[in-house]
Every structure is written in structure tokens, then in C-alpha cells.
Amino acid sequence: MQRRYTDRMKRILIAVLGMAAVVSPVWAWGPLGHRLVADVAWDNLTPEARANVQALLGRESLADVSSWADHYLVGNYQTFYWHFINIPPDATSYNRDRDCLVQPRTEAGSRIDVWRDCVVERIPYNAERVGDASLDNSDRAIALKFLVHLVGDEHQPFHTFGVGRGGNDIAVKVWGSDKCGQWGCNLHEVWDEKLIEHRALDEAAWLKMLEAEIAEKHMTAGNGDAAAWAMESHDFAKAALVTPGTDIDQAYYDRNIGVVRQRLEQGGLRLAKLINAAFSKAPVARS
């Protein structure tokens, strides 16, 4: 019995490692960027929403769970497609049939073709689940974790841009180096982490800067939806696109770091609006 159990665990481990080897990275912003979106959101929640978030997450904060969805991919590969959308570079609007993947074993336009697998549709899907009092609290907590992450993903410009798999296939140098870790240097990685890292601030200092800018500009979440947010990111990515081999230098950083700040700020404010709305209509049941 023990040997059969051990052999089974070995097979599972091999399968998991095999999946990890073929899945390309989908991270957006990196851990710091995702935490900052969550931090801004937390500071803009209503007291009622904060209490409900704590009821679902326990000792974890929004920032603590902000990268959870990336690790959920192992064994749940369909959710890989929830993190991004490949909108063609010359598109002027979101087109569901062109841009968003139909779920497996589902016919486009059929009765069950309600939610598709891209970030534009999985943001409202998870927001709806967070606000669904008929669901078990554990299911609402999972939806909240996805929502925190996916709103962050969509506000990273290259998570919506259909060129080179969101810039993953555009090899670049970063301040003269082509060594950027396991996946090498590419334009997607630049926007995930390298521009944020170059500012050389810790989480608290970054948050202080973002919130000062939000206050100074009187920024609000506005009335847009996930499709509109995706097109905003798409247009920023189009403006920031470079040719393969480009050296990402100080001039590129200076042109684009303001966009990074803006997208972190907007992502946090919009995430807060979604969470506030979800819990205002359906508070978490307490025993």
C-alpha cells in the first residue's frame, strides 16, 4: 500500500513539474505592483467592505492575496487565460468574438456561452461572485482573490496587447543587460517589474507616493468597465512598444514611469469600487 501511494505521488509530482515547464509566465506587475494595487484599494474601501474582506480572508490582507491567482494555475490551467487578453494593435474597441476565448466544450453564442476566458470577462465574473450571498464564504473568498489579482493584471498595459504575446516575445536589453532572470529580458518583464524596481522604493514609500498623487489629482475610479480599462491599457502598450533588441534606458523609463504610476493608482481605485459595490448589496453572513 505504501509503495503504491509513493508511486502515485511521484507521478503527480512529475505531471506538475511538466506543466510548470511549458507554461509561459503571465505575471503582471510582479509581487510589488500587485501589492500596491491592493494597498490603494484597501485604503479606499468603506468600513463595511473592510469588515467583509477581513471576514473572508481572516488574517491575510488584500495585499497578501494579490498574487495568489498566479499560483492557482497548477492543476487549474483554464484560469491561465483569465489573466490577459490579446487585443490586436490597431483595434479601437473590445470585440468579444475576436478577443475572448470561448470556454472548453462550449459553442460560441450558445445558451451556456455566458462567461469566456479572458481578463475582460473574468473581472465582472468574479466581482459578481464576491457579491453573491448564495455562495459559500470559501467560494466568495476565492472570487475575491481572483478579483484583486485580475484587476491588477488588466491595468498592466502589456496584458491586453496582442503583439508578441503581450511583449513576452519581444527581447530587449534593460539598462544595457540582457540578463533578467529565468525568462530573459523581454518587454513584458520590463513592465511587470523593471520599471517599478528602477524607482528603488519599498512598498510603503511607493504607496505614500501613489496616494499623494491620487489626492493631488483628485482621482476617482470613474464609470468605466473592464472592457474600457482593457482598451486604456492597450493604447498605453501601443505607445510604449519597441522593436526587438531595444535597450530600455533612462529615457524610456522617464517617458513611461508616469504611466506605471497612473495604472497602479487607477487599478487600486477601481478595485475598491468593485469590492465596495459587492459587499454593499451582499454582506458576508456571520455566525
Q: Mind listing the pLDDT tens digit for each residue in 192-234?
A: 999 999 999 999 999 999 999 999 999 999 999 999 999 999 9
Query: What would the grid cell of residue 149 be?
Result: 489579482
Q: 183 pLDDT band (50/70/90 cuts)?
A: low
Q: How far is CA 269 from CA 39, 148, 204, 221, in A?
A: 10, 11, 17, 5
Q: What angle do CA 137, 142, 148 make, to 5 degrees?
A: 120
CB-CB contact of 26 with 156 (8 Å): no
Q: Which one-letter amino acid corresponds to residue 259? A: V
Write out pLDDT tens, residues 36-80. 999 999 999 999 999 999 999 999 999 999 999 999 988 899 999
Write down all domains in the chain, each with its CATH number in brackets. 28-281 (1.10.575.10)
**Of 108, 59, 91, 104, whose CA–CA distance to 163 is shortest?**
91
Q: Helix 119-130 to helix 137-154 angle, to the nearest 10 degrees? A: 150
The pTM score is 0.90
How far apart are alpha carbons 176 and 78 in whole angstroms? 37
DSSP state of 162: T
